Amino acid sequence: MSNAYFTIAKPANDPFLGYLPGSPERAALKEELARQASEVVKIPLIIGGKEVWTDETIPVTMPHDHQHVIAQCCMAGEKELKAAVDAALAARDAWEAMPWEHRSAIFLKAADMITGPYRKVLNASTMLGQSKTVFQAEIDIAELADFLRFGVWEAQEIFKKQPESVDGIWNRQDYRPLDGFICAVSPFNFTSIGGNLPTAPAIMGNVSVWKPSRTAALSNYYYMKLLQWCGLPAGVINFVPCAGSDISRYVISHPKMAGFHFTGSTAVFQSVWKQVGENIASYANYPRLVGETGGKDFIFAHPTADIAPLAAAIIRGSFEFQGQKCSACSRAFVPASIWPEVEKLLKKHTAALKVGDVQEFDTFMAAVIDKDRASSLLARDVKADQLIILTAVDRVCVNFNKPDQQELPSMTLAEAEADISAMLRDASATLEGDPDALRLRTMHLAYESVKQSGGTLVIPSAFSEGFVPEAGKKAGKTL
């Protein structure tokens, strides 16, 4: 009989490794990159803890060298998706009954492996499969460990919360998982989010059916294998790469879907919300829908802003990971009085950015994730009245090793206007010394330009200011 009171200390964020020349982590990662680049991994479905192989497969390629196949991934269909739901529901009762500290031990062990010997495996697969530079992969994988450690700690803090009692009455509260399964649909751009979406509900005692992004299949598969190695019981998380239409038809429509955990496009999340709402009477519960969707981040600079940090923030916010983060900067609103200095630095630093192979550790930008993403960027034309558009990226890279895509060439500064790199400023007046009314008008212009270019959600964005903190407060309140 267990009667001890278990506690988990509040974790700290995992520190990043530097991968400096001559460092042991650099040598180990270089070796792992070479190993993974030299093989083609066969990725099965994992349903009820067992590998399931299907006739339908897709190639997993390096985005920066898309003729280089690094994996063949099985795709689930109707039969496999229904089996995954059944496996999750079959595992539910035993997983719920497992003491929370035993569940937590599995994920804490996984976190220790991620920050230890498994770090190079996830870093390398994220670099090769998602075209992340060494730094971008490193911060991604460190965040995955953070998700696990903070997840179990937050679960503990939730379990601690109990109702107040009065004389003669002792009120107590147990926390139970949802009655059904969680459908987790994860994106390509963060391995950490891919791992967290099915795992966070599992920490609380839920079971998941996980559809990873087909363009992040390799890193996500390695993470799933790690969870199994760390003792995750069969069926708690079921790994089923598949078409989005199939997950909608066979999983989201299932009466026992109790929750939907998602990161991706606004359009997809809205379609799921609509599907669930129109069929709400068919569900055993009211499904919980939790999602994060893309936004149109911008930087709004105050006339007092320090020029060098402002230019650096614009460049890093716009071009790290090829502008594919959900927090990527898509616009910068810069006062005309400081624009010449900002423009000079933007052109100087952007011209020096190295676009290339992620296996070269001085690369700043690699390739966008796939042909569809590249097409959408090159086809987007940013226009707004009274705004001047500056494209600060010198090319959009699809395949710089073997340029065989004639319809998607590398684009020069004069040839491409990509939404992720549009730098806009108010051309009608300078903000310096202007009354608040003009500042508010300019901010509303910023908001309207975001809406007109397809943005349906504005993520809280950045305000660059010097020694006028009140300006930042007013800006935030206005937006």
CA distances from 272 to 76, 188, 261, 279, 388 (A): 20, 19, 11, 11, 37
User: Is there a catalytic annotation at residue 326?
Assistant: yes
- Tokens describing residue 54: 């299907």
Give, as one character, the DSSP assignment of residue 282. Answer: G
Helix, strand, coil: what percent of the chain each, to 5? Answer: 45, 15, 40
Strand, coil or helix: 413: coil
Specify the pairing of strand 41-43 against strand 45-47.
unpaired
User: Is there a catalytic annotation at residue 397?
Assistant: no
Answer yes or no: are the C-beta atoms of 300 and 423 closer than 8 Å.
no
CA distance 371 to 184: 25
| Interacting residues of 291 by C-beta distance below 8 A, sequence separation 6+ | 260, 261, 262, 263, 264, 269, 272
Task: Catalytic residue, from 154, 292, 341, 343: name it.
Answer: 292
CA distance 183 to 438: 47
Task: Catalytic residue, from 96, 326, 341, 343: name it.
Answer: 326
Strand, coil or helix: 424: strand
Answer yes or no: are the C-beta atoms of 232 and 263 closer than 8 Å.
no
- Count CB neighbours of 38 within 10 A: 8
One-letter identity of residue 195: G
CA distance 316 to 313: 5
Strand, coil or helix: 35: helix
Which residues pair with residue 355 across a beta bridge?
365
The residues assigned a catalytic role are: 292, 326
